[in-house]
Amino acid sequence: MKPLSTWGSSRNPVKFRIPTSDNLLPIRLDIEIDGQRFRDAFTWNPSDPDSEVVVFAKRTVKDLKLPPAFVTQIAQSIQSQLTEFRSYEGQDMYTGERVVPIKLDLRVNHTLIKDQFLWDLNNFESDPEEFARTFCKDMGIEDPEVGPAIAIAIREQLYEIAVQSVASAKESRMIKKGRKGFEHIPISKAGGIAVDLVKSFGNKSSVIRKRKEWDVFEPIVDLLSNEEVDALEATEERNAR
Amino acid sequence: MAMEASNVKPPVSAIEEAHLDLYTIPSYSSWFQWGNIHEIERISLREFFDGSSITRTPRIYKEYRDFIICKYREEPSGRLTFTELRKSLVGDVSTLHKVFTFLEKWGIINFSGTVSAEPAEVQQRHKKEVRVEEGAPYGVRVVAAPNSLKPVAPLPPPVDVGGGGGGELAENGSKFPPLASYSDIYGELLQQQQQGKEGKELVLCGSCKQQCDSGHYEHTKDEFLLLCKKCFGNGDYGSKSAHDFKYVDDTNQVVWTEAETLLLLESVLKHGDDWELVAQNVKTKSKLDCISKLLQLPFGDLMLGSALRKTKVWDRNAGQAVPAHSVQDTVTGDDQQHEHKNQGQQNANVEDPGPPHKRLCTVPNLDASSSLMKQVGRLSSVVGPPVTACAADAAVAELCYENRCSREIFDDDNFGDELGYSARTDEEERVLPVENSEGEKGPTVSGASEHRGNGANISKECCTINFANASCNCNFSWCCSCSCKVIGCSGRERN
């Protein structure tokens, strides 16, 4: 039974990477200098030369008219995230099948989104950007910043899960226990426990969810008023400090 | 894409089966069966069928599929979105999306889904819609003839014609920003157009700048140089002489609106040079008007030429006229051959009534001045080998009637069949008919000979058709096609 190349094999370990069709790394920036705060999130291609980091930082500062002190901070932040990503490269991620829940809980400008769904870690053709596009189209979201934010949120969770998998794969090797088909990972704030595949997909169960569960998996999109946005932002800032 | 009602039973109990609902799916999806998984599904969604994962099995696929379709059919008038759907299914969202997209692509769901209220979708459709603007695009303008002052409405925008000069003619009443160079040179003309009333354009005398009413004199070499009758009578020719002017009668100036011009073009494309039909189509203009109008258009004479080419062949098709391509033949001996080829094409056209225009378009422009062999070569490349074979066959037969020498070559019983089959290969070979039996070239050595059908002798290089009967009569002889000496046969002398 030869599996497709786009799916990870259920036998061989998978090398670390973001399990999507583009191996793009989510980068998040949150820098404050002299009372000015700069927050941003985007995807970065780790195969770009590192010289691009500084170029990007300079361009960002110039476009947003930030004080020049931001250039080095931005560049450093990006670089360190990149380096961390690269430190995992080459290591084994997981063996066996992994379907994990992904949760969305984000606010982009006036749009508030809550959602959850399943994601197959072995599906290397998966595309968070496409998911985000479909999401925005189906829900009629017009703010163009929402889509990318959703995609990045998904990527971040996948990244975190992948990192955890590397750690736990190491552990299992050290413990030298026999591997089963399905491993479980420690509970994280992002991914939760991987889905019990036998229970969900085995022959005794239906892949149709019970009606009462539909609400849980249905996306919620709220448009906030200005006051609500302000209130939320204030709360977030307070929490961040 | 025809729409068929596909009488599909949703899984309902026996009692409810009494009223079956009809759901419409496109005819290209008629392979779909409720109780079955078709090969198309297995191929398009092979990840469910290759055992690569416990999460993707045929059973699971069928559950997804059936659920999606039922869900859609709860509300067939609306469009089922993926997001609405995925909450109900357990599985990787990317995989679910793939199944959803598959079903949607095949029209099994969302086929009669309406033009939805979703703004994003509307936007997308708008982007794809062609926006029809008034007046021609800025860059492309069509004139009747360079520097012509004849009252001609410009062609409507969709007709993109590369020809035509650089000048611009304004649509009646429509505004456009004149190009700088245009207004410099043709400022007067521009003025005239803008002054013109609906459907009528003015002719101004080049000398006195008055409007010429009933007729004007036009310089034969410079169509821009116009003189009204008065000025002409006064001898006010400028630097030209009187002989160079010809009289143009304006009284019955026929004016064509843009709509009529478009209609005319369409009619000509459709009916060729059947001016009766064309005039009928362009209801407001007579036959003569149509013809002269077409000639005035920049590519008009080209269209006429191609219209002529679309001569209808009456005799072969029992009174049915089917437009076919014919070649403007200058060599009489090959008329029949071409006709036969046309017939072959016609037959093909009749069998395939679908896109006859496509076929017509693919025949390259046959230039009567290029060598006959080239023409024949091009023609034979358009049709399949069997057609060309028949055509050549018939042509040869006709030639034999006409031409004694040909008969000798083709039908001469003295050709023994000693060599039997030669290297008649599996690949198809075409026979290019003899152009001119008198055109024997000097003896040149060709490769091993091959012989085909009816005792004709064809050298290997020339012979390209696989005839069924392999009876070689060849001996030391001339190749009928390239007239090279064919060597390699019995060596028996020809009588």
Residue A84, CA atoms < 13 Å, CB-side half-sphere? 13
Q: What is the mean pLDDT of the segment spanning B58-75?
A: 93
Q: State the DSSP code for A46.
A: T
- Residue B459: its pLDDT value, please? 55
Q: What is the pLDDT of residues B183-213, one digit of tens each?
A: 566 656 656 656 554 444 556 777 777 766 6
Q: How far B151 CA sits from the closest chain A CA (Å)?
A: 51
Between B90, B92, B118, which is nearest A140 by CB? B118
Contact A95, A11 (CB under 8 A): yes
Q: Tokens for B390, please give them.
A: 């028949």
**Is this complex scored with an ipTM above 0.95?**
no
Chain A with chain B: Cβ pairs closer than 8 A = 114
d(CA B356, CA B324): 10
Say yes or no to pLDDT of B335 above 60. no
Name the one residue in this structure whose structure tokens are 């005839």. B467
What percent of chain A shows pLDDT beyond 90? Answer: 56
**Most confident listed range (A168-172, B7-11, B368-372):** A168-172
Average the pLDDT over B240-263 and give the result.
Answer: 72
Report the pLDDT averaged over residues B117-123: 48
- What CA–CA distance (Å, rounded) separates B39 from B46? 10
Q: B66: which chain A residues are within 8 Å (Cβ-Cβ)? A: none
Average pLDDT (B222-245) is 70
Residues of B in contact with A216 (CB under 8 A): 87
- pLDDT, residue B318, reads 42
- Mean predicted lDDT score pLDDT of chain B: 63
**For helices B287-296 and B258-271, what crossing angle results, to 10°?**
100
Cα–Cα distance, A5 to A10 (Å, whole number): 12
Find the farthest-apart pair of alpha carbons in chain B and give their distance in angstroms, rounded: 101
CB contact (8 A) between residue B93 and residue A119: yes
B118/A137 touch (CB, cutoff 8 Å), yes or no: yes
User: How far apart (Å, rounded) are the C-alpha atoms in residues B445 and B195?
Assistant: 75
Tell me if residue A140 falls in helix, strand or coil.
coil
Give residue-wise pLDDT tens across range A108-137.
989 999 999 999 998 898 999 999 999 999
Query: How much is the pLDDT for B360?
Result: 46
At B20, is the pLDDT very low, low, confident or very high (cuts 50, 70, 90)?
A: low
Question: What integer pLDDT is reported at residue B80 of this predicted model?
Answer: 93
Six-digit token string for B24: 């419409």
Give the phi and the psi of residue A133 in degrees, each rounded to 5: -60, -50
**Distance between CA atoms of residues B309 and B323, nearest Å:** 9
Confidence band, pLDDT 50/70/90 cuts, at residue B135: low
Say yes or no for a CB contact (<8 Å) between B53 and A206: no
Residue bearing the bigger pLDDT, B456 or B216? B216
CB < 8 Å to B47, chain A:
4, 6-7
CA distance A99 to B6: 37
Select from A138, A200, A217 the Cβ nearest to the Cβ of B82: A138
The closest of B123, B101, B121 to B110, measured between CA atoms, is B101
**Contact yes or no for A201 and B57 at CB 8 A:** yes
Report the chain B residue with the minimal C-alpha distance to residue A115. Answer: B87
Neighbours of A117 (CB within 10 A): 24
Is B92 close to A99, i.e. CB distance below 8 A? yes
Residue A151 has pLDDT above 90, yes or no: yes
Could you give the count of Cα atoms lying within 13 Å of B209 in the half-sphere of its Cβ?
5
Residues in A touching B120 (Cβ below 8 Å) = 136-137, 140, 142
Task: Write down the pTM of the prediction.
Answer: 0.48
Which pLDDT value is given to residue B226?
Answer: 72
pLDDT at B439: 40
Instruction: Reply yes or no on whether the pLDDT at B110 is more than 70.
Output: yes
CB contact under 8 A, A7 and B47: yes
pLDDT in tens, B155-187: 444 433 433 333 344 444 454 554 456 556 665
pLDDT of residue B168: 41
In this prediction, residue B460 carries a pLDDT of 55
A89 to chain B nearest CA, in Å?
25
Nearest partner of B193 among B175, B205, B177, judged by Cα:
B175
Per-residue pLDDT, averaged over A76-89, amounts to: 93
